[in-house]
Amino acid sequence: MTTLIEARRLTKDFGELRAADDVTFQVGAGEIVGLLGPNGAGKTTTLRMLAGLLQPTAGEAVISGHSMNKEQRQARRELGFLTGDMDLYRRLKPAELLTYFGKLYETPAIELDARVKNLMAAFGINDFADRLCEKLSTGQKQRVSIARTLVHDPKVVILDEPTTGLDIMASEFILRFIERIAREEKKAVVFSTHNLAEVERLCDRIVVIHRGKVAFNGIPAELLAQTGKTTLHDAFFHLVQ
Amino acid sequence: MRSNIILTIFGKEIKEVLRDKRMLYLVILLPFFLYPVLFTLIGKVGADQQDKLSSQKVTVLINPEGQGTPVFDLLKADTTLELKTAAFDRAAIDTAKNTIGVWVAPDYAQQIAASGSAKVTIYVDESKDVLSLRKEVIAARLQALNQQILGERLRQAQLSESLIQPLAVETENVATKEQLVGKVMGGFLPMIILMFIFVGCVYIAIDITAGEKERRTLQTLYSTTASKGEIIAGKFLAVASVGIVSAAMNILSLLVAMQIQVSLMSENANSLSFSVSPQGWLWLVVLVLLSTVFLGALCLAVVLLANSYKEAQSYVSPMMMLILIPAMLSQMPGMELNASTALIPMLNISLAMGAVVKGAIDPGLMAMVVGMALLYALVALWLASRSFGNESVITGEKVNFRQLLGK
């Protein structure tokens, strides 16, 4: 399995506060890794360093073999990033928004046109294609956001609490999307969540971050064995208390 | 930096602006209709009000001793005055409605006959426009009577009128009509241009920076392959373009408004002629462009510190003060463009624009203003790049000036 995401001893300080401390893990092609941890543990900071939004104080993020520090453009070209609280450009229509981001990734025009059409069909966006994004429902916005994440066909997808604030239908849509891109398209997926049911359903591996450090990195069964608990819920609480 | 990425960002921002009705009203429609409507409305209301005040009946009380004097005849001749003879005092005039009192000294006839000075007092409440205006008319008529009596006395004494006027002082204004109009326009035009460039820049700057932070779309943008420099350049071009359109609409609107005024006042048309030389227009374009670069970059740098649209709007008034105060100072008497004022941001632009409009262009000083404006624009752009490069801005966190100017 080709490694597509590498967090190499990622460390981030905000003044006196060390938000992430020597965080190391890998994600392979077609693998789904769940990033778990209580609020303030350092999940978002880690994901932002992987996405190149934050410069690590020490360590390095490598995306599809490209260092985010040294080959940022190549690394970002292979990366799709989505957070649950991200909105869309209000006065653009879905197709315009997808084309805009495709152009930012310098996707060739003919290829971009085909990709936008395919994504709009795949995510059922054609039904509301003529409406501005500000007029879309939360679920419709979420579909456009996901399509936006994939418009440049990245090998790596990073999702920061993608289901936060969504209803059951919209959450289910996201979970199926994560499953599909990993299993069918062999993309490497890392996502942070507080929902352990999502983790049990999707994740091949979990990384638990506690007080900025990696407290566990392995398959769910290993976490149960290591903590001596029978449920992921109990094992997680055992680890972070 | 890749020009295709910059143009993609610029194009997207402009597309969003063109779909924002509020922005279109503010940047294009409001300035375009503001001056013609304002000028016409103010002119019409002002003229109507003046007519109303001039024709409104006003009661004039004159004391019984004044009856039979030329003062009485003079007041009676004015049909807009309702002349009544009655004894009155200051308090009576104060409480009476729409009334002026004219008190003529009881010894008026004797004083005039003996070449003395007869006292005439006008009692008026000058806080009332109609009474104040009518007092001016009465005072002017009395002055004319005074001149008439004086002339008669000089003739009787076989003296020339020049005896009481040893110096015949005259003033001849050598300024052209264009210069006179330029003086008036040069005072307020720079302030209006700068204000509307700022208004044009600031609202789009808020939308594409603080607005994006609030909606968390800035993170999406930063996670793409577009570099910070390309993002700043694209957004800055959009802000500056809207600022320039706003300024152009203002100047155009002002010229249209003036043309309307000229056509409405055909008899005074020549007195309102206003022209700027081709060289002057060139300087104006350069100054407007530099002001836009400066104000656009400043707006981007400052509003990006805000975390929400609402917070960014609270920065608008202080920034407006930074522009309006120097622009207002440029209108102070004696304030002119020189080697010192050319160094002060905004004041130098205001004075330089004023000098162009007045037709008093000093190429050396203008070059100095352009150089300084360019320097300030670069500093503002640097500040904007510091804002955009700040990690807290990228992640939508709060930023302060210390962070901005620090590491």
The pLDDT of residue A49 is above 90: yes
What pLDDT score was predicted for residue B267?
Answer: 53
Q: Which residue has the higher pLDDT, A24 or B26?
A: A24
From chain A, which residues contact B within 8 Å (Cβ)? 48, 51-55, 73, 76-77, 79, 81, 83, 85-92, 96, 100-101, 103-106, 132, 148
3-state secondary structure B111-172: HHHCCCCCCEEEECCCCCHHHHHHHHHHHHHHHHHHHHHHHHHHHHCCCCHHHHCCCCCCCC
Output the furthest CA–CA distance in chain B (Å, rounded).
Answer: 101
Across chain A, mean pLDDT equals: 90
Query: Mind listing the pLDDT tens digit of every residue in chain B (407 residues)?
Result: 889 999 999 999 999 988 888 878 877 787 777 777 877 777 778 778 878 887 888 899 999 998 889 999 988 888 888 899 999 888 888 888 889 999 999 999 899 888 889 999 999 998 888 888 889 999 999 999 999 999 899 888 888 888 888 888 888 888 776 677 777 777 778 888 888 888 888 888 888 888 888 877 888 888 899 988 899 899 989 998 988 888 888 778 877 877 777 676 655 545 455 567 788 888 888 888 888 888 888 888 888 888 788 888 888 888 888 888 888 888 888 888 888 888 988 889 888 888 888 777 888 888 999 899 889 888 888 888 887 777 777 766 666 666 666 54
What would the pLDDT profile of A120-162 be if each residue is shown by its tens digit? Answer: 998 889 989 999 998 998 888 888 988 999 999 999 999 888 8
Give the pLDDT of residue B406: 58
Give yes or no for a contact between A156 and A78, defined as CB atoms under 8 angstroms apart.
Answer: yes
> Are B219 and A52 an interchain contact pair (Cβ–Cβ within 8 Å)?
no
Interatomic CA distance for residues B236 and B257, integer angstroms: 31
What are φ and ψ of residue A221, in 5° steps? -60, -35
Do A128 and A94 contact (CB within 8 A), yes or no?
A: yes
For residue A194, what are its two tokens? 């507080």
Q: How many Å apart are CA A7 and CA B259, to the nearest integer?
A: 69
| Residue B16 and residue A89 in contact, taking contact as beta carbons nearer than 8 Å | yes
Give the global pTM: 0.78
Alpha-carbon distance values, B219 to A81, A83, A225, B3, B30 (Å): 9, 9, 39, 21, 34
**A237 Cα to chain B: minimum distance (Å):** 29
Tokens of A75: 């690394």
**Cα angle value A134/B399/B322 (rounded, 5°):** 90
Q: Is residue B372 helix, strand or coil?
A: helix
pLDDT of residue B100: 93
The two three-digit tokens of residue B63, written as one number:
């004391």
Q: What is the ipTM of this complex?
A: 0.88
Range with the poorest average pLDDT among A163-172, A202-211, B100-109? A163-172
- Which member of A53, A92, A106 has the closest CB to residue B394? A53
CB within 8 Å: A83 and B219 = yes
Tell me if B350 sits within 8 A of B327, measured CB to CB. Answer: yes
Angle subtended at Cα B191 by Cα B186 and Cα B196, rounded to the nearest 5 degrees: 130
B89 phi and psi, to 5 degrees? -130, 180
Q: Using alpha carbons, select from B39, B22, B12 the residue that is nearest to residue B259.
A: B39
- Enumerate the residues of chain A whose CB falls inside 8 A of the CB of residue B4: 103, 106
Spatial contact of A80 and A150, defined as CB atoms under 8 Å apart = yes
